[in-house]
Amino acid sequence: MPLYSLLASRMARILIADDSEPMRIALKTLFALRPQWEICAEAENGREAVAKATELQPDMIVLDFKMPLSNGLQAAGEISRTMPTTPIVMYTFDGNADLEIVAKHAGIWRVVAKEHGVQELLSAMDSELAAKEYKRKAQHA
């Protein structure tokens, strides 16, 4: 059982941002298999991701790097300034060590290369959600 499911007493609300509709559909289908996760919104570009994150305050954001209007790094930078405790996971075809360094500075918690598969994405999301939930519970203890 995923760690977040053991720690959480509520649903994790997830925002998916990717310019590829088939990828958004695939991620929604995949995330639906996790009973403690719900998709609160989708965005097809960086600007829309920032607007929806600001409006909906999701528990986690999964975004692509290359998107129109504002890329994933730009969007993450804006989001993390106002929502620093919200985990942002970049799921991209462009994953490499240089991108990971720049992504950390933009406020992205993890970079997962799409070629590594969905299991690595699920694992990264679960561990970041669990860490956020643990910190939240520790602050209220």
Domain 10-110 CATH assignment equals 3.90.1150.10 = no
Lookup: tokens for 115: 């070629």
Return the half-sphere exposure (C-beta side, CA atoms, 13 A cut-off) of residue 66.
Answer: 7
The answer to whether 4 and 130 are in contact (CB under 8 A) is yes
Question: For 80-130, how does the pLDDT look when each residue is reduced to its tens digit (9 = 90+)?
Answer: 999 999 999 999 987 778 889 999 999 999 999 999 889 999 999 999 998
Q: Is the pLDDT of residue 3 over 80?
A: no
Question: For 42-61, how does the pLDDT look when each residue is reduced to its tens digit (9 = 90+)?
Answer: 999 999 999 999 999 999 99
3-class DSSP state of 114: helix
